[in-house]
Amino acid sequence: MLIAARPSRLYAYLVLLLLSGVRTEEARPLTWDHVFLETANGIQPHVAVWRSVRKHGETKTRKSRRTIALPKQVIDVLDEHLRWQKQERASKGTERSPAGPVLTTRFGEPLDAANVRRDFRGILARAARLPGIEITPSEWTPRELRHSFVSLLSDHGIPLETIALLVGHSSQTTTEAVYRKQLRPVITKGAEAMDDIFAEDQEREETGATGEGNAAA
C-alpha cells in the first residue's frame, strides 16, 4: 500500500498513521510546532498529540494527549515532506508558517476526512494492481492503519499496557475491547504455554510408563 501511495500527497499521512498509531482525527490537524524531527536535550524525535478535529478540538480522552517517539522511517518521510512543502509554498509565493498544518491539500488547506477517504481508496485501487496484492478498496478506510499498527506491535510481543499508552486509550480494557482481533496473538500465549507445559508432562509420564513396562518384562 505504501508503495502505491509514494507519489501521493497522502504518503506522509499514511506513513504517520501506520507507524505511530495516531488517530486519523489527530493526524489531520497536526501542526509543525508539535513535530520534532531532531534529538534535542536528550529527547528523541517525536510528535506531541494535543489536538483533534473532534468537537472542541480536544483529543478523545485525557490520556489521548500524549507524546510519541517517531520511528526512523517516519522521521525521514516527514523531513522530506517538510522540504517539499517549503518548495511548494515558495513556488506559489506564499509564506509557510512554522506552526502551520503538516498535512494539507494542494491549496494549503487542512485535509478533509471525506476527501482523504476518497483518495485513500484510489491508492488502494493502484495497490490492488500490484503483483500478489488482493484487496477490495471499498472495504478499507485510513482508520484501518491504526488497527494494523496495533496488530504489528502485538505480533512483535509489545505488552498490552504499552500499546494502550501508544494509541492513547484510557485503559488496557479499552484497547482489548476495540482491538480484540489484532491482539489475538498476545491473548493466545497463555494457552500456547499451557500446551507446551502439559505436553512436556505427558511426555515424561509416557516415558516413565514405558520404562516401567520394560523393567517388568
The pLDDT tens digits for 125-161 are 999 999 988 889 999 999 999 888 888 888 888 888 8
Q: Which amino acid is at 21?
A: G
Helix (H) or strand (E) holding 115, with range, is helix 113-128
Residues annotated as part of the active site: 23, 60, 146, 169, 179
pTM confidence score: 0.75
> Where do you find CATH 1.10.443.10 in the chain?
2-142
The dihedral sign for the CA sequence 64, 66, 70, 75: positive
Query: 2-142 falls under which CATH superfamily?
Result: Intergrase catalytic core (1.10.443.10)
The pLDDT tens digits for 75-85 are 999 999 999 99
